[in-house]
Amino acid sequence: MRAHIVCGGLSALLLCVVAPAAVPAAAPFAFQEGLNLNSFVRSGDVAAHVVLRSGDHPRVIVAFPAGNSGVGLWFDGVRGAPAWTMPAPARPVSERDARGRPLNGVTFRADIAAARLVPKQAVLSSIRVLRDYQALGTSPAEVLTDPMTGADTISWSRDRLDGAAGYRLVVKILHGRIVGGAIEAAADGRIGLEITALTGEPPLTPLAEADLLGPAANADPAARRALAFLSYREKFLAGSWRFDTYFGRDTLMSVRLLMPALQPAAVETGLRSVLERLSPTGQVAHEEDIGEFAILDHRKRGEPTSAKPVYDYRMIDGDFLLAPVARAWLLDDPRGRQRAAAFLRESGAGAALVRNLRFVATRTAAFAGAPVAANLIGLKPGMDAGEWRDSNDGLGGGRYPYDVNAILAPAALDAAAALYEAGLLAPYVSPADRPAFAGLVARAAAWRAQAAPMFAVTIPADQARQAVAAYAAKAGVPAADALRALNGQPVRFNAIALDAAGRPIPIEHSDEGFALLFGRPDAAALDTAAATLGRPFPAGLLTGAGLLVANPVFANPALQAKFGPGAYHGTVIWSWHQALAAAGLARQLARNDLAPETRTALRTTQACLWRAIAATRSVQSSELWSWRFDAGRYRIAPFGASGQDADESNAAQLWSTVYLALRAPAADPTADCPGT
């Protein structure tokens, strides 16, 4: 099929719009979340996420998976907190720049009831640059460009820093007028804009839904559309708008949780993307700097201008996630087991996996020989974060995270041993590797026996009651259900981390989900997990707005202040952690060696968790959300909508689509779920 091309002039720029006749338009995918109006397009070479932010500081961002690039326009503050509207979804377009190079993007109309919009700053670059401008209000001077103003247009356009095809943003006033560089409303007090946003970064290759999801996937249109937008043959994207590129941890957890619903090729796309980005020593890359952000990285280091990707290896949890996820596919899933030998032969995947397993074996040796806190797996020097709770205060100042040490390290050792014993690694393991690999079973047992007890916390009954009552008053939530759930007993939970001296940080947390999904906890550990996840807040983590990822009820006031509902990893709900707990509970309940009382406790927690999941279905594909307690109940509050929130939530998050692979258990009307 031929596309219809129309060319015309725009200031000094040649404008050639290629109507996407050969590429069917994507199904409409748009929704409001808090202050943000989101519209997604994926059609042929075009993939774009439009984010119109309403309120007293309006903003327009268009994010592109191609090169993790984007364009953004921030306006000066306005009165009245007006709201953007889009009369129709964004449409894909392709153009040529002045040198005839392709630019892909979208065009759309946006209306707002504001008397005057004054452009403050346009940023056309990497999404990483836009993220930094949003957070800090600054951008590298070399990426900024001045506007060109015409009779009814304001536009910004520039090449990438290395001279490659760059970025373009055109704002055409359809309703209103330009006065002195500002946009003034028409007589009815409204402004109507046609916005075109384009990138020259090479497009990714979309995964068709038939190649992505199998027959076991749930029929959830919103989750399917979000996952499709984030899925490409080269990699999965972590989330949009802020993380439109590869993240190792996000890929591994999403592949693991989605595995029952994914087509085999999609599982292997995720695993391959991680293996391709391993460090020479076998560490998993956390994030990649690509496109213009890679160029900025190389320049900062005094290196020649280059767009060669730069990988971040500062996180520690991905290193120990790869082996358990690889085992789940290559050994535990019949589909993967049939394909395992062929997959490992492809493109050096087997040799890369062994490289990671060598790292796991080496990194866990010290603690197995001398089980003291100093030999645990700690954050890297100079880092305040190192696993999924990767905000500065996410671990409460801890250095040795619970999830990495008590769960993921022994799980990685178990997985490495199983893969080795199955013979899958034989073509890739050297004679020098064999003694270490043969000892992995014993090392895993040592880690399981010695690491977890270091994190155990017990709060005496009287102290627990006082703490819960005091924190409930501070948080503005009722205490009665939480106090009743304590039942006059001590509270036992696992600390979120150990500090540099090996002392537990007494914060309840949802990382028990990792233990349920990757481990085989004993009865006492299962009881602790069920109680922590299932007790009503503020005694535990469960609220009517979802499962909190942290609860500082037993911490000191200074720590409590860092873990509120406006903190990125505070008393907030992350969608994927609800799914992690749900998948883990289902896995443990499939065991046939549980005592009746333990099974009952797990089933009750499962029933209450799924009630919370059902109540938060409207925001399930979001990265995270907060809550408020109003009129006697917990209510969802979009994260990032408040000026006190630490950051902004992604509207589409890869690991928040994992509900496509989860099956809700039969409803249990007898389950007692107070406080939810």
Residue 458: partners with Cβ closer than 8 Å, 6 or more residues away: 490, 491, 492
Across residues 284-288, what is the average pLDDT?
97
What is the token pair recorded at 665? 């258990």
Amino acid 671: pLDDT = 79
Instruction: Give the DSSP letter of residue 236.
Output: B
Instruction: Check pLDDT > 90 for residue 4.
Output: no
| Residue 531 scores a pLDDT above 80 | yes
Report whether 64 contacts 201 (CB < 8 A). yes
Identity of the residue numbered 599: R
> What's the pLDDT score for residue 18?
36
pLDDT in tens, 187-236: 999 999 999 999 999 999 999 878 999 999 999 998 999 999 999 999 99
Residue where a domain terminates, one of 452, 470, 505: 452
- Higher-pLDDT residue of 21, 670: 670
Residue 667 falls inside a structural domain: no
Q: Is the confidence at residue 1, as pLDDT, over 70?
A: no
Q: For 85-116, write each residue's pLDDT tens digit.
A: 999 999 999 999 999 999 999 999 999 999 99
The amino acid sitting at 659 is Y
Whole-angstrom distance, CA of residue 85 vs CA of residue 315? 40
Residue 12's pLDDT is 30
Query: How many Å apart are CA 118 and CA 124, to the nearest integer?
Result: 18
Q: Which residue type, as a one-letter code, is found at position 271? A: L
- The three-state secondary structure class of 116 is strand
How far apart are alpha carbons 111 and 84 in whole angstroms?
Answer: 6
Which are the contacts of 378, defined by CB distance < 8 A and separation ≥ 6?
A: 316, 386, 399, 400
Confidence grade of residue 143 (pLDDT, cut at 50, 70, 90): very high
Rounded to whole angstroms, how far apart are CA atoms 253 and 276?
17
Residues facing residue 104 across a β-bridge? 94, 199
Residue 400 above 70 pLDDT?
yes
385 with 267, same domain? yes
Give me the pLDDT at residue 150, please: 95
313 and 412 housed in the same domain: yes
Residue 311 falls in which region: left (phi positive, over 0), alpha (psi -120 to 50) or beta: beta
The reported pLDDT for the residue numbered 547 is: 98
Closest CA to 418 of 282, 504, 341, 326: 326
Instruction: Band the pLDDT of 294: cuts 50, 70, 90.
Output: very high
Mean predicted confidence (pLDDT) in 365-384? 96
Q: Residue 79 is which amino acid?
A: R
Whether 258 is covered by a domain: the verdict is yes
SS3 445: helix
**166 and 274 fall within a common domain:** no
pLDDT in tens, 409-446: 999 999 999 999 999 999 999 999 999 999 999 999 99
In terms of Cβ atoms closer than 10 Å to its own Cβ (0-12, 13-18, 19+), residue 615 is middle
Same domain, 122 and 266: no
Query: With contact defined as beta carbons under 8 Å apart, do 650 and 245 qualify?
Result: no
The answer to whether position 232 is within a domain reads no
What's the rounded mean pLDDT across residues 609-636? 93
If one counts the domains in the chain, the total is: 3
Residue 669 confidence class, pLDDT cut points 50, 70, 90: confident
Question: Which residues does 336 contact at the CB level (< 8 Å), separation at least 6?
Answer: 264, 267, 328, 329, 330, 343
Per-residue confidence (pLDDT) for residue 16, from 0 to 100: 35
Report the alpha-carbon distance of residue 190 to residue 186 in Å, rounded.
6
> Domain ends where: 428, 452, 476?
452
User: ω into residue 84 within 30 of 0, thus cis?
Assistant: no
DSSP SS3 for 510 = coil
Whether residue 612 is contained in a domain is answered as yes
Average pLDDT of the residues in 625-637: 94
Domain that holds residue 70: 4-199
pLDDT tens-place string over residues 147-166: 999 999 999 999 999 999 99
Average pLDDT for 287-304: 97
**In this structure, are 440 and 528 located in the same domain?**
no
Q: Are residues 305 and 193 in the same domain?
A: no
Among candidate residues 461, 591, 606, the one with its CA nearest the CA of residue 530: 606
Q: List the structure tokens of 57.
A: 């500081």
What does the mean pLDDT of the chain come to? 93
The answer on pLDDT for 484 being more than 70 is yes
Are the C-beta atoms of 372 and 452 separated by less than 8 Å?
A: no
Q: What angle do CA 141, 145, 150 make, to 5 degrees?
A: 160
Would you state the structure tokens that stand for residue 362, as one six-digit string?
Answer: 């080496």
In a domain, 328, yes or no: yes
Question: Does the pLDDT at position 19 exceed 70?
Answer: no
| Average pLDDT of the segment spanning 41-54 | 96
Same-domain pairing of 442 and 509? no
Q: Which two tokens stand for residue 59?
A: 């903003």
pLDDT tens per residue across span 551-592: 999 999 999 999 999 999 999 999 999 999 999 999 999 999
Residue 479: inside a domain: no
Residue whose C-alpha is closest to residue 658's, from 233, 236, 366: 236
Report the distance separating Cα 294 and Cα 277, nearest Å.
Answer: 15
In the predicted structure, residue 501 carries a pLDDT above the cut 80: yes
pLDDT of residue 14: 31
Structural element, H or E, at residue 272 = helix 264-276
Q: Which of 452, 469, 504 is the last residue of a domain?
A: 452
First to last CA, the chain: 56
Task: Examine the domain organization and report whether 267 and 370 are in the same domain.
Answer: yes
- In terms of domains, do 509 and 447 share one? no
Contact between residue 150 and residue 11 where contact means Cβ atoms under 8 Å apart: yes
| Three-state DSSP class for residue 252 | helix
Lookup: tokens for 440? 């992995």
Q: Report yes or no: 264 and 346 within 8 Å, Cβ to Cβ.
A: no
- 255/185 same-domain check: no
Asked if 203 and 165 count as a contact pair (C-beta separation under 8 A), the reply is no
The pLDDT value given to residue 208: 83
At 234-270, the pLDDT tens digits run 999 999 999 999 999 999 999 999 999 999 999 999 9
How far apart CA 421 and CA 423 sit, in angstroms, is 5
The pLDDT > 90 percentage for the chain reads: 89
Q: Is residue 414 situated within a structural domain?
A: yes
- Going by pLDDT thresholds of 50, 70 and 90, the confidence category of residue 5 is very low
Q: CA 235 to CA 225: how far, in whole Å? A: 17
Task: Dig out the tokens for 654 from the structure.
Answer: 């890869």
Instruction: Confirm whether 227 is domain-assigned.
Output: no
The CA-atom distances, in angstroms, between 25 and each of 21, 41, 46, 92, 258 are: 9, 8, 10, 7, 27
- Return the ∠ at Cα 356 (arms to 354 and 362), rounded to 5°: 100
User: Within this chain, do residues 145 and 282 fall inside the same structural domain, yes or no?
Assistant: no
- For tokens 């009750």, the residue is 604
8 Å CB contact between 225 and 28: no
Do residues 195 and 61 make contact, with C-beta atoms less than 8 angstroms apart? no
Whether the pLDDT of residue 347 is over 90: the answer is no
Is there a contact between 324 and 415 (Cβ–Cβ < 8 Å)? yes
* pLDDT value for 645: 52
Report cis status (omega within 30 of 0) of the bond before 280: no
Q: Are residues 18 and 136 in the same domain?
A: yes
